[in-house]
Chain A
Amino acid sequence: MDYTERLQNVTVLGAAGKMGSGILLLTAIEMADLSLKPENKGKTFVLNAMDVSDAALAGLMKYLRAQVLKAAEKKVVQLRTVYADRKDLIDNEEIIREYVNDVVGIVLPTTLLESAYKSTLVFEAIKEDPALKVKIFSQINQNNSKAPWFYTNTSSIPISKIDKEANLGGRVLGVHFYNPPAIQKLVEIIKGEHTLPELVEFANTYSKNLRKIVVPSNDFAGFIGNGHFMRDALHGIKEAETLQTKFSFPESVYIINKVSQDFLIRPMGIFQLIDYVGIDVCQYIMSVMNPYLPNEDLHSDLLDKMLEIGVRGGQNSDGSQKDGFLKYEKGKVVGFYDLTKKAYVVVSELQPKCDDALGKLPASVQPWKAVVGNPAKEEVFKTYFSELKGMSTFGAELANKYAIRSKEIGLNLVKDNVAFNDADVNTVLLTGFFHAYGPINEYFN
């Protein structure tokens, strides 16, 4: 079965979810592009978009149409060539509309798992629940005569475990997209112990066609991405907890968030990132990873407490940020959660005291946005971090400690054979988390 044949009947499980919808979009475009090649004329392409709710599927189709329209507008130069023989399509507008119909036309929304029984490839992006994944994979595998391949988007469950428990005979691979899949360039590929090599080969071709950057990761709970993020988050949480002897809870969160963003020149502070991913998702991923880490305790009482109160973070269906540790208005941070008052404190109330305590940023500081695309950013960081290292302010001390811990986490991922090398760890943080520099660096030696 060649690349095209493999993609003629595909199912995305959990297609209406945050990750599933992105995977569906990218796969639909890839399949439609194949279907429009002259050599594939007459072949049928089917992409089942499976999810549990009709309402969510209706929303998905709307999202899909809007996103494909954007993609079509961007590549209309090529599309005019694709539709060159269609005399009825003259204007860009007509060509774009036709392409949107062609892409959306191969997607069949469904709530029936049975749709996957005819698929040769199954993408899974359902809840991060090992038992549920195993149950569904087994059911499809038992009822599908085509020996389908399973690509799971799990970010934390060992692939070998899924393979063994669902009895898939090596036909499962971790293909871990980053959120949101349509934009994030990174795909982590995780091979289980018995994963067949052809699954890896196909996933590499597929990811490259989607213009993604592939990083192989070892089959170890959390892989590289969450392996770093969860530990980095726990460091931030612990630091904030320690600060509470001198500062209030919202002040502590403000301080650590600012240190991890402005002082470390990252795209967002650690508490904002936890909110972005979802406090509940972070807690869940830690709980999935934790049993595989006998020498560590990947768990946070603070996350439990926040969830008990009902503060969850995450995103609304329109992509806007829900309130979590931080409060947001039109994408901007406007407040910090106070656990005692169970309410948000406005930024202006915390800022003067905390900023004063932190002290000034090094003079050579630049915001992340200004430096991330700078080809000479390494020089910028060398100057900046050497300045930071030489400072004895409270902020500089916290930042140095944070960066050293981040590097340590990265090095441990390589030492523990989760990552194959330092460069892979850095690539994941650079592309999957949009960091401007990798955690494994020489700036803090």
Chain B
Amino acid sequence: MTKLRRKIYMVAGYNTISMGSGRKEFHPKKERPGLEEYIKEAGQGVLKAIGGAKNVDETVFGNFIASRFNRQANIAGFAPFIDEGLKYKPATRVEGACATGALALVAGIKSVLAETAEVVLVVGVEVQNTVKAIYGADILAAAGWAKERKDGHAYFFPGKFSDRSKAYAAKFGAEKTREAMAKWFTNAIENARLCPTAQEYHNTTKDLVACGMVKPNPKGFVDSLNVFDCSKVSDGASAIAIVSEEGLKRCGISKADAVEVMGLGQAEDDITRTPEDITVLGTTKAAVTNAFASACITKDKIGTVECHDCFTIAGIMAIEAIGFAEHGKGTEFVLAGNTTREGMVPFNTTGGLIGWGHPTGATGVHQAVTLWEQLTGKAAANQITFKPERPYGLSINMGGDDKTLVSIVYKKAE
């Protein structure tokens, strides 16, 4: 992907709470906000900060699969529900499984690049606690190839990443792999405890490493992952505005409150094919390579990463895909503390998918919001310090088993 032909900014990010087990206010049998409430809260959160709906040219929604979780399709129809001022303006809904959120960002970026819009409101949303996890697994399995479902695990995606974890452990050492996964989990929860919207914000477990080290139970779950290795079932929405220079002016937002999109990388792999080497996230690597090329930077400039840790092992493999560690050495990189908030490159500073939550269609947008907060100094208790030689932020949003990938490079606007 080439350098972007126009300056693209993101401003006014907003996250709802990531609701689900772990939050004190969550009770599976009690009534909770639905799709509508999440969309409205996140959408209005952004509109308020950019001078209202009158400044918006179009809306893009990211939603994976409300058609099954909530019996709701035609999500674009919720744009005027956010604010009447969006009535008769363009709205689109995009989908790419768990990469849906970043695909929505891409759609917004491309619209601004194409000069068909100066201000795009992007809202990612998913409400998944409407069904028990065992049925949610059926729905989420749609992110894989449908013809693989029959032979797949009851928990389809945990099954896929359990296979990856097993193969990785066999190749590079079971003990070290497990320890690194436990460390990844610990980092995720520690970061989430600082973020009031995170699903694990209320987590008070004393010995996180012990949780992470729990032996997997293949009879009740999958072979090589325990429940702490997995992101939880979440309800939530995140929203942000994508704007041009003109859009910034229109919204009355200064560059100090904006991040610039420096590079964009997308990559797709054949959904019907099994990866050649399941210890590698090849498509992730391709997307990150594209993003770096687009931003004209190398990994050494990256000061923080929001990666797609739907499972702890995916976080470790993402480190290798970015190039921070060689194949098989991602575990050591984590165990050495490089990914903690004080480390060389803090990863997932608000908890990532495991700590903050994974409302699938919203995740890509949440990553953008976190990077916007960090780079503009709005991350409150989660704020990390950037070193001058590492001023960039990187996001990786993955759909399916390393199939649909979006990677974006950000920097504080100048």
B66 at the interface (CB under 8 A from A): no
User: Measured between alpha carbons, how far is A78 from B134 in the docked complex, in Å?
Assistant: 13
**A80–B150 Cα gap in the complex (Å)?**
9
Q: Taking the complex as formed, is B220 at the interface, i.e. its CB lies under 8 A from any CB of chain A? A: yes
Query: Does B30 make an interface contact (CB < 8 A)?
Result: no
Smallest CB separation, A212 vs chain B (Å): 18
Q: How far is the CA of A87 from the CA of B150 in the complex (A)?
A: 8
Q: Are B150 and A77 in contact (CB under 8 A)?
A: no
CB within 8 Å of A: which of B193-233?
A: 218-221
Q: Is B154 an interface residue (CB 8 A)?
A: yes
Q: Is B145 an interface residue (CB 8 A)?
A: no
Q: Residues of A contacting B218 with CB < 8 Å?
A: 77
Q: Which of A89-97, A299-307, A308-316 contacts B (4 or more CB under 8 A)?
A: A89-97
B268 at the interface (CB under 8 A from A): no
| Contacts known (A76-B154, A77-B221, A78-B219); A91 close to B138, Cβ less than 8 A | yes
Residues of B within 8 A of A78 (CB): 219
Bits for B126-144, please: 1 = Cβ < 8 Å to A, else 0. 0000001011011001000
A250 to B112, CA, bound (A): 76
- As a 0/1 sequence over residues 164 to 179 of chain A, the CB contacts with chain B under 8 angstroms (1 = contact) are 0000000000000000
Select from chain B the residue with minimum beta-carbon distance to A76.
B154
A193 within 8 A of partner (CB): no
Q: Which residues of B contact A96 (CB under 8 A)?
A: 134
List residues of chain B with CB within 8 A of the CB of A73: 132, 134
A304 nearest CB across to chain B (Å): 41
Q: Which residues of B contact A76 (CB under 8 A)?
A: 134, 154
B152 (CB) vs chain A CBs: closest residue: A80
Residue of A at shortest CB range from B155? A77
Contact at A92–B150, with CB atoms within 8 Å?
Answer: no
SS of B interface (majority): loop
When distances are taken between beta carbons in the complex, the residues of chain A under 8 Å from B390 are none
A90-B149 contact in complex given A73-B132, A73-B134, C-beta closer than 8 Å: yes
Chain A residue nearest in CB terms to B217: A77
Cβ of B220 and Cβ of A92 under 8 Å apart?
no
Find chain B residues with CB under 8 A from A90 CB.
149-150
Closest to B156 in A: A92
Within 8 A of B (CB), among A60-79: 73-74, 76-79
Interface residue from B135, B150, B153 paired with A93 (Cβ < 8 Å)? B135
| Bound CA–CA A356/B154 (angstroms) | 56
Q: Are B221 and A92 neighbours in the complex by a CB distance under 8 Å?
A: no
**Chain A residues positioned under 8 Å from B137 (CB to CB):** 92
Question: Using Cβ atoms and an 8 Å threshold, which residues of chain A touch B220?
Answer: 74, 77
- Smallest distance from the beta carbon of A364 to chain B beta carbons, Å? 20
Query: With A and B bound together, what is the CA distance between A96 and B134 in angstroms?
Result: 10
Closest A residue by C-beta to B147: A90
A67 CB to nearest B CB, Å: 15
Bound CA–CA A87/B220 (angstroms): 23
Instruction: Look across to chain A and name the residue whose beta carbon is closest to the beta carbon of B133.
Output: A73
Q: Which residues of A contact B154 (CB under 8 A)?
A: 76-77, 79-80, 92
> A76-B154, A77-B153 are known contacts. Are A92 and B134 too (CB-CB below 8 A)?
yes
Query: Are B153 and A80 in contact, CB atoms less than 8 angstroms apart?
Result: yes
Distance from A70 Cβ to chain B, minimum over Cβ atoms (Å): 10
Q: How many whole Å from A173's CB to the nearest CB in chain B?
A: 31
Interface magnitude class on chain A: 10 to 19
Residue numbers in A under 8 Å from B134 (CB-CB): 73, 76, 92, 96
With both chains docked as a complex, state the minimum distance between the C-beta of B138 and any C-beta of chain A, in angstroms.
4
Residue on B nearest A79 in the bound complex, by CB? B154
B221: chain A residues at CB < 8 Å are: 77
Q: Are A77 and B149 in contact (CB under 8 A)?
A: no
Q: Which residue of A lies closest to B141 (CB)?
A: A91
B149-163 contact mask (Cβ, 8 Å, vs A): 1 or 0: 110011100000000
The distance in angstroms between the C-alpha atoms of A77 and B220, with both chains bound, is 6
Q: Which residues on the B side are within 8 Å of A80 (C-beta)?
A: 153-154
Across the interface, name the chain A residue whose C-beta is closest to B220: A77
Task: Considering the complex, give the chain B residue whose CB is closest to the CB of A95.
Answer: B154
In this complex, the member of B134, B141, B218, B220 whose beta carbon has the largest number of chain A beta carbons within 10 angstroms is: B134
Contact A91 B153 (CB under 8 A): no
Interface string of B313-357 (1 = CB under 8 A from A): 000000000000000000000000000000000000000000000
Neighbouring B residues of A87 by C-beta, 8 Å: 150
| Residues of the A chain whose Cβ atoms lie less than 8 Å from the Cβ of B219 | 77-78
Which A residues are CB-close (under 8 A) to B132?
73
In whole angstroms, how far apart are the Cα atoms of A315 and B125 in the complex? 44
Q: How far is the CA of A195 from the CA of B153 in the complex (A)?
A: 46
Q: How far is the CA of A87 from the CA of B132 in the complex (A)?
A: 24
Rounded to whole angstroms, the CA-CA distance of A77 and B137 in the bound complex is 12
Interface centre among A74, A79, A87, A92 (most CB of B within 10 A): A92
What's the Cα separation between A78 and B135 when bound, in Å?
15
B 90-138 contacts with A by CB, 8 A? 132, 134-135, 137-138
Q: What mask results when residues 87 to 113 of chain A are scored 1 for a CB within 8 Å of chain B, else 0?
A: 100111100100000000000000000
Looking at the assembled complex, report how far the CB atom of A206 sits from the nearest CB atom of chain B, in whole angstroms.
21
CA distance A93 to B135 in the complex (A): 6
A73 to B220 alpha-carbon distance, docked (Å) = 10
Residues of B contacting A79 in the complex (Cβ-Cβ under 8 angstroms): 154
Q: Which residues in B have their C-beta under 8 angstroms from that of A91?
A: 138, 141, 149
Closest to A81 in B: B154
A96's closest neighbor in chain B, by CB?
B134
By a CB distance below 8 angstroms, the chain A residues around B153 are 77, 80
User: In the bound complex, what is the Cα–Cα distance between A78 and B218 (angstroms)?
Assistant: 10
A78, B220: Cα distance in complex, Å: 8
Q: How far is the CB of A92 from chain B (nearest CB, A)?
A: 5
In whole angstroms, how far apart are the Cα atoms of A77 and B138 in the complex? Answer: 13
- A-contacting residues, B276-303, CB 8 Å: none
Q: Which residues of A contact B135 (CB under 8 A)?
A: 92-93
Closest residue of chain B to A77 (Cβ to Cβ) is: B154
Centre residue among A76, A78, A96 by max chain B CB count within 10 A: A76
Alpha-carbon distance A309/B134, docked complex (angstroms) = 49
Q: What distance in Å separates the Cβ of A76 from its nearest Cβ neighbour in chain B? A: 5
Measured in the bound complex, the distance between the Cα atoms of B219 and A87 in whole Å is 23
Most buried by B among A77, A93, A96: A77
Contacts of A77 in B (CB 8 A): 153-155, 218-221
Closest residue of B by beta carbon distance from A78: B219
Q: Beta-carbon contacts of B26-56 to A below 8 Å, as 1s and 0s?
A: 0000000000000000000000000000000
Shortest CB–CB separation between residue A289 and chain B, in angstroms?
41
* Alpha-carbon distance A73/B133, docked complex (angstroms): 10
CA distance A90 to B155 in the complex (A): 12
Chain A residue nearest in CB terms to B219: A77
Q: Which residues of A contact B141 (CB under 8 A)?
A: 91
Residues of B contacting A92 in the complex (Cβ-Cβ under 8 angstroms): 134-135, 137-138, 154
What are 30 pairs between A and B in contact, CB < 8 Å? Answer: A73-B132, A73-B134, A74-B220, A76-B134, A76-B154, A77-B153, A77-B154, A77-B155, A77-B218, A77-B219, A77-B220, A77-B221, A78-B219, A79-B154, A80-B153, A80-B154, A87-B150, A90-B149, A90-B150, A91-B138, A91-B141, A91-B149, A92-B134, A92-B135, A92-B137, A92-B138, A92-B154, A93-B135, A93-B138, A96-B134
Known interface pairs A74-B220, A76-B134, A77-B153; 7 further A-B residue pairs with C-beta atoms within 8 A, sorted by A's residue number: A73-B134, A77-B218, A77-B219, A79-B154, A80-B153, A90-B149, A91-B138
Query: Which 8 pairs from chain A and chain B are nearest by CB?
Result: A91-B138, A76-B154, A77-B154, A90-B150, A92-B138, A80-B154, A73-B134, A90-B149
Question: CB within 8 Å of B: which residues of A?
Answer: 73-74, 76-80, 87, 90-93, 96
